[in-house]
Every structure is written in C-alpha cells, then in structure tokens.
Amino acid sequence: METKKVLTFEEAANYMGMSKSCLYKMTSQKIVPHYKPNGKMIFFDREELETYLLSVRVKPQSEIEEAASTYVVTGKHKKA
C-alpha cells in the first residue's frame, strides 16, 4: 500500500487508523479530501491524506516553555 497513490475507502480507513464509520462521517461532512469519480465509490489520494493527518501540529511542552521564556526575556513572540 505504501506505493499506491490512490487508496480505496477501506485502504484509507486502515491507513489513517480509524474505523470505516468514522471515515464515512468525515467524508459526508467534507472534512477529509476525497474523490467520487462515478458518484458512488470513494477514493483518496494518499499524499492528501498525509497532509490532512499532519495539518494540526500540537507543540510539545518543551517548545511551549521555550516560547514562554523567550517572550518573558524579550517581550516578543517567536515566529514558528
């Protein structure tokens, strides 16, 4: 599956580590990018799924503390 560019619905659910019902809800709510070339079957671009999965990064505590220290010392926010 690592070499496939286009994933089926079941492959995408497995790739993302979620249930098919959860992925179906996400597609019906247009949360995750997908394709329906024949109006019925759903397909996914693997790279778009990777981008979606990595779209909201949560900073580790060490980065938060570093930014806080920088702000206290300089009075300025450090750009990410």
- Which two structure tokens, joined as six digits, stand for 23? 């992925």
Q: For 59-66, what is the mean pLDDT?
A: 90
The 8-class DSSP code of residue 35 comes to B
pLDDT at 80: 55
Helix, coil or strand: residue 44: strand
Measured distance CA(38)–CA(45) in Å, rounded: 16
Average pLDDT, the chain: 90
- pLDDT value for 32: 96
Q: What is the pLDDT averaged over residues 7-20?
A: 96
Q: Quick one: 3 exposed, middle or buried, by C-beta within 10 A (0-12, 13-18, 19+)? A: exposed
Q: How confident is the model at residue 78, as a pLDDT? A: 62
Query: Is the pLDDT reported for residue 74 higher than 90?
Result: no
pLDDT for 75 equals 73
pLDDT of residue 68: 87
Cα separation, 53 vs 72, in Å, equals 33
Q: Which domains does the chain have, with CATH numbers?
A: 6-74 (1.10.1660)
Q: Which token pair is 70?
A: 């920088």
